[in-house]
Amino acid sequence: MKTAHCVVSKAPIRKDPTDSAEMVTEMLFGEAAEVLEKREKWWQIACKWDGYKGWIDLKQLAFVDQEEDLGKKYCLSSALWNVPSNIGMYQLPIGSVLFKSQEDSFGLGNIQFDLTGLEQWKASKPNLLEIAEKYINTPYLWGGRSNYGIDCSGFTQVCHKLCGIELPRDAYQQAEIGETVDFASIQAKDLAFFKNAKGKVIHVGIVVEDQRIIHAHGKVRIDRLDEKGIYNDDLGKYTHELCWIKRVATNK
């Protein structure tokens, strides 16, 4: 089966093959997936980055026979890139994937993209906290993974992706990655996980300096963090109960 690539700025992936179904995640421009099943306009896919499965409108995909022929992959670490194509301008979010070969162009399906004059996107490996801060005030969106709207685990996943670190899609899955550390040893870039009344992990954020946390809750924001959980100064109360802290490879 050919590899499917997202050819819109971001494409919703839904739980069921209908426009009214819950959005469970998103593909960002250039990301790849394997097609598992076809039902008229709806195709079930498995995202190559994290294995996440769902249904997508086939019109938002293009197919490539040999992915390696596209060239070297680069992830955009800044927002709202204007990339021209033979069918008009594309405005791309943080985390989009571009391809670079010997030519300043690449093709996905019948669409040709021109990278002339866009050399600055081949920047050095970004810093996790610098990337995270670019999402400040991005609205919360269930299933979102872009600076147009993002959920808590989508936020941590894409930030780590830009630093070359693979994380699973959901918070409870991410909670299984890395080394558990106690609160007294907490460091910036650690992942903090939070639980509901039943003890299930339901929220995640990235620790920043001075015992604070950046996370998606209503919007991407920075709040206070202590051994009890997240304290929201705007609301004047704790909003999340701390479960544990994990340290992943980006800290080492």
Provide the token pair at 248. 């992943």
Spatial separation of the C-alpha atoms in residues 99 and 219, rounded to whole Å = 31
Assign 145 to helix, strand or coil: strand
Q: Contact at 8 Å (CB) between 188 and 208?
A: yes
Query: Considering 5, 160, 215, 217, which one is annotated as catalytic?
Result: 215
Give the closest residue to 26 by CA, choosing from 144, 188, 157, 152: 144
Query: Considering 47, 75, 152, 159, which one is annotated as catalytic?
Result: 152
In the residue annotation, 159 being an active-site residue is answered as no
In the residue annotation, 163 being an active-site residue is answered as no
Query: Considering 5, 160, 203, 217, which one is annotated as catalytic?
Result: 203
Spatial separation of the C-alpha atoms in residues 10 and 171, rounded to whole Å = 21
In the residue annotation, 215 being an active-site residue is answered as yes
Please calculate the CA angle 230-233-236 and round it to the nearest 5 degrees.
90
89 Cα distance to chain centroid:
23
Catalytically active residues are: 152, 203, 215
